[in-house]
Every structure is written in C-alpha cells, then in structure tokens.
C-alpha cells in the first residue's frame, strides 16, 4: 500500500488549501505556525459551512458515497455503480493527492488531525496524520492496527466513522468522519457542568453506542470526555478506540485507560470484561453533572483508594434519580452493575431525555 512519498506529498495548489508537506514538519508531528490569509479563512468556512454535506452520504449525482465506497479495514475503494468515477479510479488506493487539505483540527501525541475534502465527491472529512517513526518509538503499531480494524467495522450514529486509511514512507493517514462541534471535553470545561437534560441525552447516546459495541464483542475500556466528539447536530460520537479490544472470550487482564475512570477490578489486577465500560459510564455521568470525576484526589494513591472503596459522595444538587443510576453503575462487583439495557430504561433517563438544541 505504500505510495511514492514524493508524489503523495506534492504541494497542494493554493486553490485547494495549504500544503500539508510544509504545514507538517517531517518527523516531529508538529504543525508549524502559518498565518492564514483571508482567502484561506473563506475557504475553510466554505468547507465546514455545509453540515448536511459533511455528515450525510453523498448522493450519486455528486460522486460515490464515501461511506459505502471504502471497504472497511483495507483502505481500498470498491467499485460502485452509478457514479461519475471510472471503474479504474474506484479501484485505486487512497493517496494524499485525493484530498484538499484545510486547517488543523487538533494535535496529538503521534501526529495531527486536519480538515480535508475528498476531491471527487467534495465530501468533508477529518484526516488524521500519524508519524510512523513516533508510533514505532512508542511501540504502539499493534494498537493502531487494532484501532483501525475495530473502528472501521463499527456502524452506529454515536460512533465516529473510520472510512479508510492509507500510508506512505513516513506517515499513516486515517480518513475519519468530521465532527464539526469538536471535543465534548472542551464543551464541559466551558459549561463547568451540564444540566440533567443534557447529561441524560449524552448518557443515553453513549449507552446505546456501548450496547452496540458489546454486541460486537468490542470493549472500549477508555470512555472519558476527551475521547468523545460532537457532530453537527450536537450528537455525541465515540472517537477514540486506541484502548479497545475485540475480545470473543470477554476476559482481559491488561491495565489501561485513564486513572479516574479505571474500575476496581482493573486496579486490583483481576480479570475484567465488558462491564468495565459500565463503570466508566457511571464515572462519566457523575462528571457531566458535577464537573469533575467522582474519585478525584490529590495523589494517584488516594484516587486508587477511593475507587477500590467506592468512596462516592454527591453534591446536594444531584437529584435522587440521578444518584440512583450512578450508584447502580458504580458497584465494586461488576456483576452487580446495572446493565446497559436497564440504563436505557431507567426512569431518570426516560423522564429527562430531550433533543440537544445547542
């Protein structure tokens, strides 16, 4: 699948957006400062201004539907009838030249994410650029392969789509669904905490997505605000599957995830299964309502202690039905945690569920 680096990284002309080869400093994963012009700003606005086109499948009159054209897990485009692309073009491998590159959307440990548009369909996506040298140095190539394999096969409205991938000599590129409203974590920081209606809407969507994952034998293991994005209608999207595992045996012993969200069984080194996601859902529900995780403490040792003791304390403004759901999710014994089916049917969820308007 490797493409010729010189060809892949040929500068994009000014009518197509900034040149990724100059915007990204090779081997560092850092975005160099670039002063946007008025033309750039107008172009970025045009690329992101049509949320319907960003998130809806493209119809046949405007080119192939990227959601159907990309064969999951291969980075190849399948032949598709009734499109304006030739059969030769639909069977080619993706390269960077297939995309107009826009502004940076975010920076990560191993690379960056850019707003991008597939040239033939005008379909707006997020292009995640990862540096092979950094992945190899950190020894996480297997984790990336697992993430691609898992996420490319998942189809749920509250799970960010991975349309395909490709790579060249030095980089790996993931073609992802674009979530215009950005990170849920930033939204939480801006609001300090969410009201019951908004919390319930997010928890309902997340429970639905996790129920789907578990039906596919996928355990997420790292549910937290930083791994959640918001689509153009404000719907929640699970975006990061780096710690996910497809576990037909449903038993794991690896310690992973973020400290504040780790369940007792993982801290204590016991076998764990998909019920770790139930614990994380309870922690997330508490954090949405209160503005901080329930077992937060000055030191890691104190956090571990509070988790293993399930030292759960609620501010007075958290309603009794809300406390009931959280308490039933945050049980030390995984088998005593309320199931996702029952979360969706919980009176607090059903009584407060309403569409997000912001």
Low-confidence winner among 8-12, 226-230, 286-290, 318-322 (lowest mean pLDDT)? 8-12
User: Under 8 Å CB-to-CB from 137, ≥6 apart: which residues?
Assistant: none
**pLDDT one-digit tens code per residue, 8-21:** 323 333 333 333 43
Residue 138: name the closest of 110, 111, 165, 112 by CA: 110
Tokens standing for residue 42: 């107008």
Catalytic: which of 168, 222, 235, 277?
A: 222
Q: Largest Cα–Cα distance in the chain? A: 64
Residues 77-87 as b/e (b if ≥16 CB within 10 A, e otherwise) read beeeeebebee
Phi, psi (deg, nearest 5) at residue 174: -110, 130
* Closest CA relative to residue 169, chosen from 5, 1, 8: 5
With cut-offs at 50, 70 and 90, classify the pLDDT of residue 70.
Answer: very low
Backbone torsions φ then ψ of 354, nearest 5 degrees: -155, 155
pLDDT score of 273 more than 90: no
**For this structure, is 222 an active site residue?**
yes
Residues 6+ apart with CB under 8 A from 121: 58, 62, 63, 64, 65, 66
In whole angstroms, give the CA distance from residue 127 to residue 287. Answer: 30
CB atoms within 10 A of CB 37: 11
Give the domains, in start order, of the chain with CATH numbers.
Answer: 5-177 (3.30.200.20), 184-352 (1.10.510.10)
Average pLDDT over residues 199-213: 95
Q: What DSSP element (H or E) covers 24?
A: strand 24-25
| Burial status of residue 134 (CB atoms within 10 A of its CB: 0-12, 13-18, 19 or more) | middle
The DSSP 8-state label assigned to residue 60 in this structure reads G
Q: What is the CA radius of gyration of the chain?
A: 21
Q: What is the mean pLDDT of the chain?
A: 74
Give how far Cα 299 sits from Cα of 78, 259, 260, 296, Å: 52, 11, 11, 9
Q: What is the pLDDT of residue 148?
A: 87
Residue 96 in this model has a pLDDT that exceeds 80: yes
- In this predicted structure, what is the pLDDT of residue 163? 92
134's tokens = 């950094």
CA distances from 260 to 118, 214, 278, 322 (A): 39, 22, 14, 20
Q: What is the pLDDT of residues 119-167, one digit of tens each?
A: 999 999 999 999 999 888 888 888 888 888 888 888 999 999 999 999 9
**Element containing residue 212 per DSSP (H, E):** helix 196-215
Q: What's the burial of 90, exposed, middle or buried (CB within 10 Å: 0-12/13-18/19+)?
A: middle
Contact between 77 and 65 under an 8 Å Cβ cutoff? The reply is no
Residue 96: DSSP 8-state: G
């Amino acid at each position: 699948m490797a493409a010729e680096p010189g060809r892949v990284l040929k500068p994009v002309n000014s009518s197509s957006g900034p040149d990724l080869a100059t915007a990204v400093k090779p081997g560092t994963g850092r975005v160099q400062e670039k002063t946007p012009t008025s033309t750039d700003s107008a172009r970025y606005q045009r690329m992101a201004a049509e949320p319907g086109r960003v998130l809806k499948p493209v119809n046949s009159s405007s080119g192939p539907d990227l959601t159907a054209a990309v064969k999951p897990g291969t980075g190849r485009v399948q032949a598709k009838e009734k499109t304006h692309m030739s059969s030769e073009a639909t069977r080619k491998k993706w390269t960077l030249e297939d995309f107009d590159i826009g502004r940076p959307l975010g920076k990560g440990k191993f690379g960056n994410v850019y707003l991008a548009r597939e040239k033939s369909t005008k379909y707006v996506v997020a292009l995640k650029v990862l540096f092979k040298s950094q992945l190899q140095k950190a020894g996480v190539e297997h984790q990336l392969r697992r993430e691609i394999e898992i996420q490319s096969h998942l189809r749920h409205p509250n799970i960010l789509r991975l349309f395909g991938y490709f790579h060249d000599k030095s980089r790996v590129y993931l073609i992802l669904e674009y979530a215009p409203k950005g990170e849920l974590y930033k939204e939480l920081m801006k609001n300090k905490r969410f009201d019951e209606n908004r919390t319930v809407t997010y928890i309902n969507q997340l429970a639905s997505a996790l129920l789907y994952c578990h039906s596919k034998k996928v355990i997420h293991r790292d549910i937290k605000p930083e791994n959640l994005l918001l689509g153009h209608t404000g719907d929640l999207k699970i975006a990061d599957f780096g710690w996910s595992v497809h576990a037909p045996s449903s038993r794991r012993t690896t310690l992973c995830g973020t400290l504040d969200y780790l369940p007792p069984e993982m801290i204590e080194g016991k076998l764990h299964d998909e019920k770790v996601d139930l614990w994380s859902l309870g922690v997330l529900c508490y954090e949405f309502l209160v503005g901080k995780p329930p077992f937060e403490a000055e030191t890691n040792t104190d956090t571990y202690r509070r988790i293993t003791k399930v030292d759960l304390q609620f501010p007075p403004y958290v309603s009794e039905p809300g406390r009931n759901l959280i308490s039933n999710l945050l049980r030390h014994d995984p088998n005593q945690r309320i199931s996702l089916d029952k979360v969706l049917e919980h009176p607090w969820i059903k009584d407060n569920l309403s569409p997000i308007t912001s």
